Amino acid sequence: MTPWWAWAGVAAAAAATAPWGIQRVMLSLAKHPSLAGHPRLARRISRWVPAYCFALEDAWGRDGAPPAVQAQRQHAFVSLGQRLRAAAPRTLALTEQAREGLPDLQLTGRYRVPFPFSALVREHLPVGAFWQRSEGVELIDLDGNRYYDLTGSYGVNLYGLDFYKTCMEQAEQMGRALGPVLGGYHPCVADNVERLRRLSGMDAVSFHMSGTEAVMQAVRLARYHTGRRYVVRFAGAYHGWWDDVQPGPGNPGTPRDTLTLADLSERTLRVLRRRRDIACVLVNPLQALHPNRAAPGDSTLVLARSGEGVSRAAYADWLRRLREVCSAAGIALIFDEVFLGFRLAPGGAQAYFGVPADLVCYGKTLGGGLPIGVVCGRAHWMRRYRDDRPADLVFARGTFNAHPYVMAAMNVFLRRLEAPEIAADTQEADAYWATWLQRFNTALQQAAVPVRVRGLSSVWTVDYPQVGRYHWLLQYYLREAGLALSWVGTGRLIFSHNYRDEEMAAVLQRLLQACRRMTADGWWWRDPALTDDIWRQRLRRALAKEMARAWWQRAAAF
Ligand code: PMP
């Protein structure tokens, strides 16, 4: 018989661990049910995904298309490749030459499309990686081809490439006399600090070399001042490539101090209220466009892409509640405005959504065309030492942190923000981009193509409301039509604010032209006898079978 004291021990252990158990359950409930909400699991699963690729002859009937459509597609695929090759021989030759020594180029080339099609695409649909020059809203390749720039230089290009060329030229003049003197500051730094304090509404500023570094610094400060270890990020949100903010696929490490919680969730607020070990919450306001999802790239565009963003009012309401909870729990609320900063408003997301943060990270466009990361914060959070404990400080210095040329380019950028045309742009930006979104969608609907666009200001994403295996091909037809997208493809179209109506109309016409070609070449064929639901189920089942077969073949090979 079990002695009484053993039962008492079990009861005492249960009582002691109950709060931990409750906390654990609450944490699990606050995770988004998708894989984006479970990055470690996603990473584990990603290792199990078997490699397989289609041959040219058996790639085009993956949606059950009849042989005639498959033949039409194969012909279209090969001839699209021939046209792309013929149009840009010099650009493609240099791309090919550089590929072997540039693993980054190898990666982007490989992950433009879903992996089973990747080898075929690399062989047949070449895309140049080099540009000769830029003019207005156009990029010009080594063969003289002109493309409307929808890459937005990863978001750096907000006011138009010519704007940044001027910033860089003037910066060179301003910084030349001092040259690469580091450690001490160029006089313009003092002005930058004042301007940034005004714009951000914060007390203090620190300069870094990239957005990733700015986020690292903000998190480090939050940990230092709270004495707590955990960083909360929201499912799907990007915050740079530092280990702690990238716990899923793509990072071989296993960050232990990162909690990935659901965006816009009461359960998340409950966790934040209850726990006493959370140092900070990171918010990337771009998630309003696709909450709880990763950035929409074509490499993961397997069957369809459509998502509901949330309205400005709904997201503002969420941020307000998050703000209240963070204040009450002593958690630093960090806005990561590296991508969106200045695009929504000069005062950024804080001004646009009407919610103040404790620390704000900026980057990209703020460098006036040069590499930058900036943290602005309230005095308390920005302090690097304690008066009462002299050996307990927080270190963050980097060789190039306030490079004179970068500081000068930033200074030109910040001064130019005050120009009347920039102020006018900010006033009208929301309405302008909303009007064009509507025009695009009306035209796409009239053209009867399964493509729609959504956006937050001038950052757009292409949705495919109907399931299909070949939507990713649209990026190549867009290239042919003279639209340049970044390697992530149609998930991110980034417009600079110097696009005028004529250019927007031209982009729309080119998009329609590409969509019509997709239709004519049979890529959006679907079995007319099937309802939407059955069609979706059939494609899903075919995809699952395909994966299972590949997995089985791999297992059998061992
Ligand atoms: N945060 C956000 C929201 C970003 O979009 C990015 C870059 N895309 C980063 C951080 C990292 O910035 P960087 O690439 O300059 O390191």
C-alpha distances in angstroms, 165 versus 63, 92, 420?
47, 26, 19
C-alpha of residue 239 to centroid of ligand 1, in Å: 6
Fill in the amino acid letter for 171.
A
C-alpha of residue 284 to centroid of ligand 1, in Å: 10
C-alpha of residue 241 to centroid of ligand 1, in Å: 8
Residues with Cβ within 8 Å of 148's Cβ and at least 6 positions away in sequence, in order, are: 137, 138, 482, 483, 484, 503, 506, 507, 510
User: What class has domain 203-295+309-397?
Assistant: alpha beta
Query: For 316-344, how does the pLDDT look when each residue is reduced to its tens digit (9 = 90+)?
Result: 999 999 999 999 999 999 999 999 999 99
Average pLDDT over residues 486-495: 96
C-alpha of residue 363 to centroid of ligand 1, in Å: 7
Cβ–Cβ < 8 Å for 413, 167 = yes
Element spanning 426, H or E: helix 420-446
3-state helix, strand, coil split of the chain in percent (to 5) is: 50, 10, 35
What is the C-alpha to C-alpha distance for residues 475 and 451, in angstroms, rounded to an integer?
12
The residue whose CB lies within 8 Å of the most ligand 1 atoms, and thus the one to mutate among 219, 231, 239, is: 239
The residue whose CB lies within 8 Å of the most ligand 1 atoms, and thus the one to mutate among 157, 207, 337, 364, is: 364
CB atoms within 10 A of CB 9: 11
The candidate with the shortest Cα–Cα distance to 214, out of 406, 378, 395, 375, is: 375
CB atoms within 10 A of CB 184: 9
C-alpha of residue 497 to centroid of ligand 1, in Å: 20
Cβ–Cβ < 8 Å for 405, 172 = yes
The residue whose CB lies within 8 Å of the most ligand 1 atoms, and thus the one to mutate among 153, 158, 212, is: 212
Which ligand 1 atom lies nearest to the CA of residue 337?
A: 3
Average pLDDT over residues 477-499: 97
What is the C-alpha to C-alpha distance for residues 437 and 454, in angstroms, rounded to an integer?
7
What is the C-alpha to C-alpha distance for residues 222 and 228, in angstroms, rounded to an integer?
8
∠ CA 444-446-447, rounded to 5°: 65
Which tokens go with 527? 């079995």
Which ligand 1 atom lies nearest to the CA of residue 212?
A: 16
CB atoms within 10 A of CB 490: 28
Decide which of 3 and 468 is more confident.
468
Helices (H), 294-347: 312-329
Query: What SS3 string covers 534-558?
Result: HHHHHHHHHHHHHHHHHHHHHHHHC
Which tokens go with 18? 């109950």
Give the pLDDT confidence score for residue 427 in this predicted structure.
Answer: 74
∠ CA 335-340-341, rounded to 5°: 70
C-alpha distances in angstroms, 224 versus 206, 217, 384, 457, 538?
16, 10, 9, 35, 53
Residues with Cβ within 8 Å of 39's Cβ and at least 6 positions away in sequence, in order, are: 247, 248, 249, 260
CATH number for domain 56-157+423-520, candidates 3.90.25.10, 3.90.1150.10, 3.20.20.140, 3.40.228.10: 3.90.1150.10
The candidate with the shortest Cα–Cα distance to 269, out of 300, 232, 238, is: 232
Q: Which is it for strands 230-234 and 133-135: parallel, antiparallel or unpaired?
A: unpaired
C-alpha of residue 123 to centroid of ligand 1, in Å: 31
The residue whose CB lies within 8 Å of the most ligand 1 atoms, and thus the one to mutate among 244, 338, 374, is: 338
C-alpha of residue 155 to centroid of ligand 1, in Å: 9
Cβ–Cβ < 8 Å for 361, 354 = no
The residue whose CB lies within 8 Å of the most ligand 1 atoms, and thus the one to mutate among 213, 238, 494, is: 238
What is the C-alpha to C-alpha distance for residues 216 and 282, in angstroms, rounded to an integer?
11
Enumerate the β-bridge partners of residue 280. 231, 332
Element spanning 189, H or E: helix 188-200
Query: For 288-316, how does the pLDDT look when each residue is reduced to its tens digit (9 = 90+)?
Result: 999 999 989 999 998 988 878 899 999 99
Residue with the smallest CA separation from ligand 1 atom 1 is 239
Sheet architecture: strand order including 332-336: 204-208, 373-377, 359-363, 332-336, 278-283, 230-234, 258-261
C-alpha of residue 210 to centroid of ligand 1, in Å: 7
What is the C-alpha to C-alpha distance for residues 341 and 370, in angstroms, rounded to an integer?
15
Which ligand 1 atom lies nearest to the CA of residue 237?
A: 3
C-alpha of residue 283 to centroid of ligand 1, in Å: 12
Cβ–Cβ < 8 Å for 377, 201 = no
Q: Sign of the CA dihedral 354, 360, 364, 369?
A: positive
Name every protein residue with a CB atom under 6 angstroms from any ligand 1 atom.
Answer: 154, 210-212, 215, 238-240, 284, 336, 338-339, 363
Give the pLDDT confidence score for residue 9 in this predicted structure.
Answer: 65
Decide which of 530 and 317 is more confident.
317
Domain ranges of the chain: 56-157+423-520, 203-295+309-397, 528-558
- The proportion of the chain whose per-residue pLDDT surpasses 70, expressed as a percent, equals 97
Query: Residue length, the chain?
Result: 558
Query: For 350-374, how does the pLDDT look when each residue is reduced to its tens digit (9 = 90+)?
Result: 999 999 999 999 999 999 999 999 9
Fill in the amino acid letter for 36.
A
The candidate with the shortest Cα–Cα distance to 302, out of 528, 542, 44, is: 542
Average pLDDT over residues 437-458: 97
Give the pLDDT confidence score for residue 1 in this predicted structure.
Answer: 56
Give the pLDDT confidence score for residue 141 in this predicted structure.
Answer: 98
Please state, rounded to an integer, the average pLDDT across all residues of the chain.
93
pLDDT at 210 over 60: yes
C-alpha of residue 519 to centroid of ligand 1, in Å: 36
Which tokens go with 181? 């003197």
Residue with the smallest CA separation from ligand 1 atom 9 is 240
Give the pLDDT confidence score for residue 232 in this predicted structure.
Answer: 98
C-alpha of residue 197 to centroid of ligand 1, in Å: 21
C-alpha of residue 24 to centroid of ligand 1, in Å: 31
Q: Which is it for strands 278-283 and 359-363: parallel, antiparallel or unpaired?
A: unpaired
Residue with the smallest CA separation from ligand 1 atom 13 is 211
Query: For 48-67, how does the pLDDT look when each residue is reduced to its tens digit (9 = 90+)?
Result: 888 889 999 999 999 999 99
Q: Which residues of 80-93 are buried (b: 16+ CB within 10 A; e: fewer)?
A: bbeebeebbeebbe
Which ligand 1 atom lies nearest to the CA of residue 286?
A: 3
Q: Which is it for strands 373-377 and 204-208: parallel, antiparallel or unpaired?
A: antiparallel
Sequential DSSP letters for 109-158: HHTSS-HHHHHHHHHH--------EEETTEEE-TT--EEEE-SGGGGT-S
What is the C-alpha to C-alpha distance for residues 452 and 305, in angstroms, rounded to an integer?
10
Cβ–Cβ < 8 Å for 404, 186 = yes
Q: What are phi and psi of 538, to 5 degrees?
A: -65, -45
Which ligand 1 atom lies nearest to the CA of residue 284?
A: 3
Residues with Cβ within 8 Å of 18's Cβ and at least 6 positions away in sequence, in order, are: none
Which ligand 1 atom lies nearest to the CA of residue 213?
A: 16
What is the C-alpha to C-alpha distance for residues 238 and 112, in angstroms, rounded to an integer?
18
C-alpha of residue 240 to centroid of ligand 1, in Å: 4
Query: For 241-279, how does the pLDDT look when each residue is reduced to its tens digit (9 = 90+)?
Result: 999 999 988 888 889 999 999 999 999 999 999 999 999
Give the pLDDT confidence score for residue 8 in this predicted structure.
Answer: 65
Give the pLDDT confidence score for residue 13 in this predicted structure.
Answer: 65
Query: For 108-166, how does the pLDDT look when each residue is reduced to its tens digit (9 = 90+)?
Result: 999 999 999 999 999 999 999 999 999 999 999 999 999 999 999 999 999 999 999 99
What is the C-alpha to C-alpha distance for residues 366 and 16, in angstroms, rounded to an integer?
51
pLDDT at 14 over 70: no
Cβ–Cβ < 8 Å for 298, 475 = yes
Query: For 75-106, how does the pLDDT look when each residue is reduced to its tens digit (9 = 90+)?
Result: 999 999 999 999 999 999 999 999 999 999 99
pLDDT band at 437 (very low <50, low <70, confident <90, very high): very high
Rounded to the nearest angstrom, the gap between the alpha carbon of residue 147 and the centroid of all alpha carbons in its chain is: 22
Give the pLDDT confidence score for residue 484 in this predicted structure.
Answer: 98
